[in-house]
Amino acid sequence: MLINHPLLGPRDVSEFVYLGDASLIDRPDWQAGDAGEQFHDYLYLRDNPAGAHRELWFHEQGDRSWLVVTRHTVTHEILKVELARDVALARGRDK
Amino acid sequence: MSQPYRINGGLIDREKVLSFTFNKQPFEGYQGDTLASALLANGQRLVGRSFKYHRPRGIFTAGSEEPNALVELRDGAYREANTRATTVELFDGLAAHSQNHRGPLSFDLMAVNDFLHPFLGAGFYYKTFMWPASFWEKVYEPIIRRSAGLGRLSGEADPDTYEKGFRHCDLLIIGGGPAGLAAARFAGRSGARVILVDEERLLGGRLNAETYAVDGEAGAAWAADCADELHALDNVEILTRATVAGVFDHGVYSVVERNTDHLPDAGGRARQTLWRVYAKSAILCAGAAERPIAFGNNDRPGVMLAGAVRAFANRWAVAPGRRVAVFTNNDDGWRCAEDLSAHGVEITAVIDSRDIAPLARIPGALMAMGERVVDTRGRKGVHTITLSNGGVIPADCLAVSGGWSPNVHLTCHHRGRPQWREDIAAFVPGQDLPPGMRVAGAAKGVMRLGDVLADGYCTAMETIETLGFTPPPGEAPRADNESAAVSAFWHVAESRARCWVDLQNDVTVKDITLAEREGFRSVEHLKRYTTLGMATDQGKTGNVLGLAVLAESQGKSIAETGVTIFRPPYTPVPIGAFAGKSRGKEFRPTRVTPSHQWAEEQGAVFVEVGMWLRAQYFPRAGETHWRQSVDREVRSVRGSVGVCDVTTLGKIDIQGRDAAAFLNRVYCNAFAKLPVGKARYGVMLREDGVVMDDGTTARLSKTHFVMTTTTANAVSVFRHMEFCRQCLWPSMDVHLISATEQWAQFAVAGPNARKLLQKVVDPAFDISNDSFPYMACGEMTICGGTPARLFRISFSGELAYEIAVPGRFGESLVRILMEAGAEFNVTPYGTEAVGVMRTEKGHAAGPELNGQTTARDLGLGRMVSKKKDSIGSLLSEREALNREDGFILMGFRPINRENKLSAGAHFIAKTAPATLEHDEGWLSSVAYSPELGHSIGLGFIARGAERIGETVLAVDLVRNQEIEVEIVPPVFVDPEGERLRV
Amino acid sequence: MSDYQLTARAPLGGLSIELGALSLTEIDAYALGSIAAPRGERTRLADRLGVALGLAMPAVGASSLSQDGSLRLLGLQQDQYFLMFKADPGAAISFLTEKVGDAGYVTDQSDSWAKLCLKGHLARQALSRLCMIDLHPKQFADGAVARTVMEHIGVILLKETDDSFVLFTPRSSVRSFVKVIEDGMRSCSNQQESA
């Protein structure tokens, strides 16, 4: 497998470490009224699509960036690669 | 020794005579021979015994698809089983042995299996060796292994070396036959980066085996010209003796290059290189493989594929027989008769299953049109053949052609399904090719040479344009289109003898029809039940024939029956090639500490901790048991001072305006207000509330912290914190960089630790108890100006420091500490002593931080701040993690102080049976405490805190031990922590 | 004066290997420091490095060289750079602190890494036995930088010219690394001889 890193171009998958669903970016607010429920869903509930899947990969043996990789789980085609930081900022995560 | 079957011509060098042995018998051949061609030149038709029935077998093909001629090569530890004689290049001194027989090859005692064949049909093993189950491993398997099988392993470690490598290209061309060469030539001229891979020594493929002309010159000469042109191009890399074994995602191909298999001696070179090729696009030009027709006793030595027969004659100047008959269902088979006849070999008959007019005049040959071969006779090889019209024809070689099957294998590695083409009676690549791959030539079902060359050329042009290169001028190479008509004909129904389909796994037509009758109707089931196509040749010659037989017996078309899918590797790959350098001590890298060499000089015993080698203990003269050394090291630390290399602990440099706020979120306890110049113990949770890691973090300035992690978790903690930084709180100003290797760090522990350090710390820095109290940290200089960091932290429970200097000074520092500490009898101590002391102090380590325990379980529940958001704090409040009867870390001591505790023992009430339902927890760490003079342990037990003083049993079913233990608080030594603060 | 004097030791003690036309040398004269740009202040850091060191900020995967060739800034990751400079490593941190000031966060990395230089016209071929990255001049220009893994060991790779590569690899595992790179060198020179 190759991951087309947005800054570095295609890199071999063995430089990366997989984490899981990119929804892990959306960590709930600890002070929400139903924070317990939200954290439970955040941590344990995952979609398992046969198709496009957004997932987190860490370029551990590279530039140490976290990436959001959109991968087709049936064909393994990689449809999109973004810097996770950009995704997180776009989703309104800040301090 | 005269090579009686050698004829004129060929691409061999008769000046270079090579000696070799087969079953210890000496033979000669020429440079350019394969083992197969040299054996045939010497009239050696019988080369092995079959897998199941031990039937005599000969050479069947001339290439890597060979099912029969498997031999053991070389001797001793170098012995390699199951090599195909057709791909082994002959070298001087080569020693080959036939395999799978008991007694001599010509009289195999196991051939009795052949007489038992009525009982040994498809599924025999499944049906027979069913019960009793206790016989499976002890009785049945050894019997089966002895009687069925292939070559023998040497039983020794492979003495060869292997390597891996990486190559990149715009275009990978797989196969250097006519299509591949036409493609490579034009792609090369375009300037694209091209890699051309061929499994043979010589480029040219079938051009070297046939008598066709290309662009007006002999095909082999044209191929050689192409090779010369390609070799001269900087942008073209040619890998010969290399096989594309697999196609992986995103244009990654694995290629096995055989560097030294053709040499008597590897001469220090890696035997094979496993290349990972990254290709933007690929053209598969793998050609086609001829397939047999099944008829009675069609496995006898001397029955060969027609294309192989003329390859031996044309390329290797060997006549596979003196009297050759040809049996074909297609036009191509006739070329075999013509070529051999032109070489002066007698053709006794041409048998064509089609009732057509003879396609050629072959002097002296019987023309049997619309006939079939029903049976063959001959003791160790074919002697006569019997035709469907009853005629008996003399022949010591029968060349058979059942048509050609495109080599579609690599197109299936991404689950592509081949499609049946009735007009050529063959499977061709489907539409679902691996992305970036195109197919050209015979591999695509383009069967005539002129068309093949044009297809290679056009496919290359199309590909290089897609890649953005300008197609070079020039025209496709030209050749005549030979006739290639074929009429599907699979097996001779009237044969009464067994008709072989898969020669390597001994599968017959009858096995397939039987399997079908027993209900194994899907091709996938048929394959697994009969083992059709499951041998090392993966059924390259027999598969399509088997499918045709299945389709026929079901009354379906082959297209409806379908085909099993092909997976990597294309041809067998030695395990060594996959391992590469990762074997023995090089299985993974070794990391050594700055004091490693010094510790070696001290005679330290080392232990592997992840990739690190750490000193475990330092035995001294007279110490005969490790406990003596460890007890002494512990007593020395507690009594005076000791030094331990703790460089392996992860160190992460954390800087930024938001560094404190960041730490406050990754640690469950408060860090925001840690003063500059102070260190604090921190516990890091996973989001689910389980403890991830612990360590101390020191604040060097308002915006600068240094975190330590456990040795084992250094990498995963860094990864986790980068996740937090980039994905959770991306606008925080915080920066992480590993400083683990930058600093050589030593623990200096014991009542005399300060006195020792005062001798090396530069006088400008006051490290007295008042100025530098417990948990102080600071940057300073030592030994006259060398920058250092000092942390007053303690894992041993004694007055202790960790001192860090830049890595280059690490070894020097430990020597100086030893020298300066001589007056205090300073003692180096290893990981065992660390383990004893931390157990005495009740500090959790690896066995306690096992990925299942929470801060509460570890007795650190109060550290989890509820006033702030931190990873894991919220979910650590879950009810199930806070049960009153949950496990709590406690101390344990044996009632009988002589007893030795064992880690892993489980706690059971004294009155209860030792069963799972009565399990109350487990002992996680044990040690012998020199201070207390008995064994102590840490462990988790339900409601521990309320049960101090209670006695339970520590039951170790593995060591068959049952010890009464008392539950005590987890801190055994200096529970008030007074020693830390003096 | 202290009674004790610390002596420095290079990770490989100044190793130098020659195999055929290839050489592998430990280069210990370089100091190495990391510089991180505070969030949102990349431009301020760029200005500071331009003024204080005469260096341009490279993109990730590239490096910039000072005019006299004594300083090289390597773009390793977004907002993090490595400065490679000829100096006594003992002086690295004070140099970095002085030059960068409050425009960036610095750490001394001089002792984290063993520094090696692989030279010779077969250098690229030798590296192809270890390195997954495409080092063809069209893809990996002079001055290009990559952080990657070779035989399980992390490596920072800098291409000076097509026949000269600088490799930084963790100090603790450098002996394992030298073994694998030596194998790669030997494999190339053997191949050259037998060809």
pLDDT of residue B840: 98
Residues in chain B: 982
pLDDT of residue B591: 97
Asked if pLDDT for residue B115 goes beyond 80, the answer is no
Q: B808 to chain C, minimum CA–CA distance in Å?
A: 5
Nearest by Cα to B570 from B245, B327, B942: B245
Which token pair is B600?
């070696």
Q: What is the dihedral of CA C11, C12, C16, C20, to 10 degrees?
A: -110
Average pLDDT for residues B217-239, to the nearest whole number? Answer: 97
Residues B278, A10: C-beta atoms closer than 8 Å: yes
Amino acid (one-letter) located at B922: W
**CA-to-CA separations, B604 to B407, B591, B598, B614, in angstroms, rounded:** 59, 16, 9, 9
Full strand arrangement of the beta sheet holding B777-782? B777-782, B786-791, B800-806, B743-749, B642-645, B827-828
pLDDT of residue B564: 85
Asked if pLDDT for residue B358 goes beyond 70, the answer is yes
- Chains touching C (at least 3 CB pairs under 8 A) are A, B
pLDDT of residue C188: 85
Q: Are B408 and B428 in contact (CB under 8 A)?
A: yes
Nearest by Cα to B571 from B299, B305, B289, B224: B289
Q: Is the peptide bond before B132 cis (omega within 30 degrees of 0)?
A: yes
Which 8-state DSSP code applies to residue B167? E
Q: Which residues of A touch B248 (CB under 8 A)?
A: 1
The pair phi, psi for residue B387, each rounded to 5°, is -95, 165
Mean pLDDT of chain C: 93
Better pLDDT: B116 or C144 = C144
Q: Are B970 and B944 in contact (CB under 8 A)?
A: no
The answer to whether residue A65 neighbours chain B at the CB level (below 8 Å) is yes
The answer to whether residue B732 neighbours chain A at the CB level (below 8 Å) is yes
Asked if pLDDT for residue B185 goes beyond 70, the answer is yes
Nearest residue in chain B measured CA to CA from C81: B737
Which token pair is A32?
């929400």
The answer to whether residue A2 neighbours chain C at the CB level (below 8 Å) is no
Nearest to A15 among C60, C77, C149 (CB): C149
Q: Are A91 and B726 in contact (CB under 8 A)?
A: no
What is the share, in percent, of chain B residues with pLDDT greater than 90?
Answer: 90
Q: How far apart are CA B730 and CA B598, in angstroms?
A: 44
Residues C190, B731: C-beta atoms closer than 8 Å: no
Nearest to B591 among C111, C172, C184 (CB): C172
Q: How far apart are CA B271 and CA B491, in angstroms?
A: 42
Nearest to A63 among C132, C147, C149 (CB): C147
Residues B592, C175: C-beta atoms closer than 8 Å: yes
Q: Which residues of C touch A61 (CB under 8 A)?
A: 147-149, 154
Nearest to B728 among A36, A78, A93 (CB): A93
The answer to whether residue C147 neighbours chain A at the CB level (below 8 Å) is yes
Which 8-state DSSP code applies to residue C146? E
The answer to whether residue A65 neighbours chain C at the CB level (below 8 Å) is yes
Helix (H, G, I), strand (E, B) or coil at B181: helix
The answer to whether residue C78 neighbours chain A at the CB level (below 8 Å) is yes
Nearest to A95 among B687, B715, B729 (CB): B729
User: DSSP assignment of B444-497, as one string?
Assistant: GT--SHHHHHHHHHHHHHHHHHHTTPPPPS------------B----B-TT--S
The answer to whether residue B656 neighbours chain C at the CB level (below 8 Å) is yes
Asked if pLDDT for residue C1 goes beyond 70, the answer is no
Average pLDDT for residues B746-773, to the nearest whole number? Answer: 97
Mean pLDDT of chain B: 95
The answer to whether residue B949 neighbours chain A at the CB level (below 8 Å) is no
Return the bridge partners of B788, or none: B780
Nearest by Cα to B29 from B10, B45, B12, B46: B12
pLDDT of residue A64: 97
Q: How many CB atoms lie within 10 A of CB B232?
A: 9
pLDDT of residue B425: 94
Q: Which residues of C touch A85 (CB under 8 A)?
A: 78
Please report which helix (H) or strand (E) contains residue B384, including its range.
strand B384-387
User: DSSP assignment of B560-621, as one string?
Assistant: HH--PPP-S-SS---HHHHHTT-SGGGGS--EE-TTHHHHHHTTPEEEEETTEEEEEE---T
Which token pair is B756?
């020792």
Q: Where are the alpha helices (DSSP H) in chain A?
A: 35-44, 84-90
Angle (deg, nearest 10), helices B626-639 and B831-840 = 60
Q: Model ipTM?
A: 0.99
Q: How far apart are CA C36 and CA B752, in angstroms?
A: 40
Kindly indicate the confidence band of residue A94, based on its pLDDT and cuts at 50, 70 and 90. Answer: confident
pLDDT of residue B106: 81
Residues B875, A24: C-beta atoms closer than 8 Å: no
Better pLDDT: B390 or B587 = B390
**Maximal CA-CA distance, chain B:** 114
Nearest residue in chain A measured CA to CA from C153: A61
pLDDT of residue B129: 65
For the stretch B751-764, pLDDT in tens is: 999 999 999 999 99
Nearest to B719 among A1, A58, A94 (CB): A58
Q: Which residues of C touch B740 (CB under 8 A)?
A: 112
For the stretch B464-476, pLDDT in tens is: 999 999 999 999 9
Q: How many CB pairs under 8 A join A and C?
A: 33
For the stretch B548-558, pLDDT in tens is: 999 999 999 99
pLDDT of residue B125: 67
Cβ contacts of residue C77 below 8 Å, gap of 6+?
A: A63, A64, A65, C60, C147
For the stretch C96-143, pLDDT in tens is: 999 999 999 999 999 999 999 999 999 999 999 999 999 999 999 999
Q: How far apart are CA B181 and CA B171, in angstroms?
A: 13
Asked if pLDDT for residue C191 goes beyond 80, the answer is no
Q: Which residues of C touch A65 (CB under 8 A)?
A: 77-78
What is the share, in percent, of chain A residues with pLDDT greater than 90?
Answer: 98
Lowest mean pLDDT among B536-545, B650-659, B852-861: B536-545
Taking the alpha carbons at both ends of chain C, their separation in whole angstroms is 61
Residues B591, C170: C-beta atoms closer than 8 Å: yes
**CA-to-CA separations, C160 to C117, C120, C124, in angstroms, rounded:** 10, 12, 12
Return the bridge partners of B785, or none: none
Q: Are B614 and B606 in contact (CB under 8 A)?
A: yes
The answer to whether residue B733 neighbours chain A at the CB level (below 8 Å) is no
Vertex B534 angle, CA B528 and B536, to 5°: 165
Cβ contacts of residue B920 below 8 Å, gap of 6+?
A: B906, B907, B908, B909, B941, B942, B952
Q: How far apart are CA B474 and CA B833, in angstroms?
A: 78
User: DSSP assignment of B6-68, as one string?
Assistant: B-S--S-EEEEEEEEEETTEEEEEEET-BHHHHHHHTT----EE-TTT--EE----SSTT-SS
Residues B729, A93: C-beta atoms closer than 8 Å: yes
Which 8-state DSSP code applies to residue B423? G
Q: Which residues of C touch B655 (CB under 8 A)?
A: 36, 105, 107
Q: Are B351 and B47 in contact (CB under 8 A)?
A: no
Q: How many CB atoms lie within 10 A of CB B871?
A: 24
Better pLDDT: B371 or A95 = B371
Asked if pLDDT for residue B1 goes beyond 60, the answer is no
Lowest mean pLDDT among B146-160, B505-519, B675-689, B755-769: B146-160
Q: Which residues of C touch B166 (CB under 8 A)?
A: 128-129, 131-133
**CA-to-CA separations, B142 to B115, B135, B149, B876, in angstroms, rounded:** 21, 10, 11, 55
Nearest residue in chain C measured CA to CA from A60: C148
pLDDT of residue B452: 98
pLDDT of residue B117: 75
The pair phi, psi for residue B543, each rounded to 5°, is -60, -50
Nearest by Cα to C116 from C127, C129, C128, C132: C127
Amino acid (one-letter) located at B573: V
Vertex B204 angle, CA B203 and B208, to 5°: 120
Nearest to B820 among C4, C109, C177 (CB): C4
Asked if pLDDT for residue B927 goes beyond 90, the answer is yes
Amino acid (one-letter) located at B680: R
| Buried residues in C44-77 as b, exposed as e (16+ CB within 10 A) | ebbebbeeebebebbebbebbbbeeeebbbbbbb
Task: Pick the residue of C63, C133, C153, C169 with the most A CBs within 10 A to test the interface with A by mutation.
Answer: C133
Look up the pTM and report it: 0.94
Q: How far apart are CA B978 and CA B252, in angstroms?
A: 62
Average pLDDT for residues C77-88, to the nearest whole number? Answer: 92
Average pLDDT for residues B80-86, to the nearest whole number? Answer: 94
Beta strands in chain C (DSSP E): 16-19, 22-26, 30-36, 63-65, 71-77, 80-86, 105-108, 113-119, 145-150, 153-161, 164-170
Q: Are B453 and B467 in contact (CB under 8 A)?
A: no
For the stretch A18-67, pLDDT in tens is: 999 999 999 999 999 999 999 999 999 999 999 999 999 999 999 999 99
pLDDT of residue B53: 87
Average pLDDT for residues B765-776, to the nearest whole number? Answer: 97
Nearest residue in chain A measured CA to CA from B686: A43
**Maximal CA-CA distance, chain A:** 44
Nearest to C2 among B165, B741, B783 (CB): B783
Q: A17 to chain C, minimum CA–CA distance in Å?
A: 13
pLDDT of residue B130: 67
Q: B274 to chain A, minimum CA–CA distance in Å?
A: 16
Q: Are B393 and B387 in contact (CB under 8 A)?
A: yes
**CA-to-CA separations, C187 to B236, C27, C130, in angstroms, rounded:** 20, 23, 11
Q: Is the peptide bond before B569 cis (omega within 30 degrees of 0)?
A: yes
The pair phi, psi for residue C192, each rounded to 5°, is -60, -45
Asked if pLDDT for residue B27 goes beyond 60, the answer is yes
Mean pLDDT of chain A: 96
